[in-house]
Structure 1
Amino acid sequence: MLDGLSTADLDTGCRHGVPWYVAQLGGQLVAALTSQETPLTVGLANALERVAALHPECDLASPGTPSATVAILRQRAGFFDHLVLADSPIVFEGLQGFTVLTDLRVDEVLPDMRAEVERYETHTPEHQAALRRLVTAQRRIRNTPDGYWVAGASPEAAAHARVGSTPAEEVRAAAVLSDGASRLVTEYGMATWSEVFTMLRTGGPQELIAAVRKAEATDPTGRRWPRYKSGDDAAVAFCQW
């Protein structure tokens, strides 16, 4: 799962843009992880290096260079390996309940500026101005020890991902989600993980995404749930065995 970071209409230093970057990174990740013996962090670092090599004419040192969250779930003999970098979560349904694997370091930085954005309704000039100020400030500490880490131009970010392995017998099903889909639980509180997995089993990702959009339609300007935009990109991969 790759989720491109919003640019808030600010310059990125790249003539290709975030959608191009995400597409290239996805392809390079698949290629880098063809061997199950390759550690996920090594595969991600290799993919980041290869994508950077595809556009050396762009300003890859720009703090706004295209970037993305990463969530990888890999099945191998007896285990499920995971890697999360930023806030696209992986959720396991196990024999003892649900386990959420995510990286929320971005939520720990710049709390005052985040609160300022959330004071205004979406689609207002004040909200957009506050959002641009926040994104500008986030860029200064993105992929630094004082900030948070995402997939960008430097392979160094891969070393800061959160990784682990879970015995296969402990997992019944798993979902890999963008934060635009997981927020039905994490931000809106309109469902439990148990209810989300029931949706995924009965109606697939489409049913979950439709539930997210239905909730957002009741609060189009962010009064009930203050947020950066009325609705964010929503994607889900659901796995069961």
Structure 2
Amino acid sequence: MRVSVATAPGGSNPNEDWVAATSTLAVVLDGLSTAGLDTGCRHGVPWYVAQLGGHLVAALAEPGRPPADGLAQALDRVAALHPGCDLGNPGTPSATVSILRAGADRFDYLVLADSPIVFERDGDHQVVTDLRVDAMVPELRAEAKRFATGTPEHTKAVRRMVEAQRLTRNTVDGYWVAASSGDAAQRALTGAVPLADVQAVAVLSDGASRLVTEYRAASWADAFAMLRGDGVDGLISAVRKVEATDPEGLRWPRFKSGDDATVAFCQIS
């Protein structure tokens, strides 16, 4: 498997995405925004995703280990690194997780939350993603999208939305992300795809996938052609060009003018 990776911040704040790849593994993490709210942790989201990513890659170095088991171990080990922080805070640093691992005859995958894995299979595209978060606090989501991005009203509305979402995070009736407990790993979407059926795979944070899913500026076929022709940086550049035409979020209402964007593009040798 040949893997190309790229990641870029969505604005002036530190990038809260994380990506790593080997010849058999691709991992993308997307740290959840705090919207300026307290997290109970002195380390911050970039620290959290870097620690979780490193421990996750180490845990999955054993080829036969199920991705969910590796994620559970990584979550528990990162939690042990900062026992002095309030890990029970509903806003404790957290992230989406997407894992792709190539074996002898199949791809194993794990998706926790809304960073998709897209398989190109004989000209078709199979998208694996978990959109449970989109069903949470719909009235507050709609309110946040009423205002132009960057206005005080928008900032306040996003903050109210995130504060309410946190109360549903990692609950039975809510949505699941990687946070402070290994239990979340068992709530991920997992499966396998025969290796022989796949030409390429894209593992993306939602800041990159929105070119197709939110902005509708490309199809998945277009996106894969772009990845082959312009590379992973080219796909992120295409996202930024679309966002630049609508900086206030009037055509495409959203919670940030530009989100951190990450791509791991995996081609079969």
Q: TM-score, normalised by structure 2?
A: 0.89
Q: Determine helix, strand or coil for the equivalent of 2:96.
A: strand
2:84 matched to which residue of 1? 57
Structure with more relative contact order (C-alpha pairs < 8 Å, separation 6 or more): 2
Letter in structure 1 aligned against 2:77: R
Letter in structure 2 aligned against 1:23: A
User: Are 1:91 and 2:137 counterparts?
Assistant: no
Q: Determine helix, strand or coil for the equivalent of 1:195.
A: helix
Q: Determine helix, strand or coil for the equivalent of 1:65.
A: coil
Offset, 1:110 = 1.0
User: Are 1:170 and 2:197 counterparts?
Assistant: yes
Letter in structure 1 aligned against 2:141: R
Q: Which runs of 5+ in 2 are unaligned?
A: 1-27
User: Are 1:224 and 2:254 counterparts?
Assistant: no
Q: Determine helix, strand or coil for the equivalent of 1:141.
A: coil
Letter in structure 2 aligned against 1:12: T
Q: Determine helix, strand or coil for the equivalent of 2:155.
A: helix
User: In the TM superposition, what are the counterparts of 1:108-147 in structure 2 within 5 Å?
Assistant: 108-147=135-174
Aligned counterpart for 1:9 among listed residues 33, 36, 57 = 36
Aligned counterpart for 1:37 among listed residues 43, 47, 64 = 64
CA distance in 2, matches of 1:71, 1:53: 22
1:181 matched to which residue of 2? 208
Where is the helix percentage greater, Structure 1 or Structure 2?
1
Offset, 1:203 = 1.3
Aligned counterpart for 1:104 among listed residues 122, 127, 131 = 131
Pairwise CA RMSD: 0.6
Offset, 1:109 = 1.4
Offset, 1:96 = 4.9
Letter in structure 2 aligned against 1:182: S
Q: Deviations over 1:99-148 (max 9, x none)?
A: 00101000111111100000011111111111010000011110001110
Q: TM-score, normalised by structure 1?
A: 0.99
Q: Deviations over 1:32-81 (max 9, x none)?
A: 11111111110000000000000000000000000000000000010000
CA distance in 1, matches of 2:123, 2:150: 42
Q: Determine helix, strand or coil for the equivalent of 1:235.
A: strand
CA distance in 1, matches of 2:196, 2:232: 24
Aligned counterpart for 1:234 among listed residues 261, 264, 269 = 261
CA distance in 2, matches of 1:185, 1:95: 19
Q: Which runs of 5+ in 1 are unaligned?
A: none
CA distance in 2, matches of 1:165, 1:92: 11
Q: Deviations over 1:179-203 (max 9, x none)?
A: 0000000000000001100110011
